[in-house]
Chain A
Amino acid sequence: GIQVEQSPPDLILQEGANSTLRCNFSDSVNNLQWFHQNPWGQLINLFYIPSGTKQNGRLSATTVATERYSLLYISSSQTTDSGVYFCVTYSSASKIIFGSGTRLSIRP
């Protein structure tokens, strides 16, 4: 089945810094999403991005489907950006597959 790997596993930054999170997948995919799980446990849908680039405020994402990776950019980090970021795709049997996540901590 499809393997989804995320890097780095942990990231600690000062408020105001920029960061890049990476998601590699082992096979071609038709679906790629980024979620933020905040410290209260809620899963927040950031981007649905099977290919191309999207931006939403300080966040943007790029998926290069032919090279099997996606990047999530966070600029001017705020403490509210802390949490775990998951990359999510689907298997051929329509099962949702989660990456292992990147735990981001933004220090004030």
Chain B
Amino acid sequence: NAGVTQTPKFQVLKTGQSMTLQCAQDMNHEYMSWYRQDPGMGLRLIHYSVGAGITDQGEVPNGYNVSRSTTEDFPLRLLSAAPSQTSVYFCASSYAGAGAEAFFGQGTRLTVV
């Protein structure tokens, strides 16, 4: 049972480049979400999804797009990378509803130069 898998673990981008951070879970969880964590800070919600075909914005959605075409995958797209998007990105998943336990991926460390 792999849990929540994020790829890549590390990435360096040039300003203006685009890329997709991958997140996959094999637990049939309805709820998936993306967070960014800046140095010395807590995690801030970027986007989340409560099921295939349904996504919504979190606290800091600007500069990021998501889609949820399957239950298993929830990719995060950076359309035109900026140095302000240098951060560590975490993906999480859980069953929807009361009492759910959250599972997190290992994180993706992104540097935009």
Contact = CB atoms under 8 A, between A and B. Distances in A.
Contacts of B103: 45
Given A30-B99, A33-B101, A43-B107, A94 B31 contact: yes
A9 to B, nearest CB: 11
B52 interface: no
Interface residues of B, number: 25
Contacts of A100: 42
Interface stretch (B18-26, B62-70, B74-82, B90-98): B90-98
Interface string A28-67: 0011010100000111010010100000000000000000
B100 interface: yes
Nearest to B102: A96
A35 B106 CA distance: 13
Contacts, number: 53
Interface range for A: 20 to 34
Given A41-B109, A42-B107, A43-B90, A30 B45 contact: no
B99 A31 contact: yes
B16 interface: no
Given A41-B88, A41-B109, A101-B42, A94 B104 contact: no
A98 B99 contact: no
B101 A31 contact: yes
A42 B3 CA distance: 14
Contact of A96 (B33, B50, B88, B99): B33
B100 A31 contact: yes
In the A-B complex, list the 7 residue pairs whose CB atoms are closest, starting with the nearest.
A30-B98, A43-B104, A30-B99, A48-B101, A98-B43, A98-B42, A94-B96
26 contacts: A30-B99, A31-B98, A31-B100, A31-B101, A33-B102, A35-B104, A41-B109, A43-B90, A43-B104, A43-B107, A45-B101, A45-B103, A50-B99, A86-B42, A86-B43, A90-B94, A90-B100, A90-B102, A94-B50, A94-B94, A94-B96, A94-B100, A95-B45, A96-B33, A100-B42, A101-B42
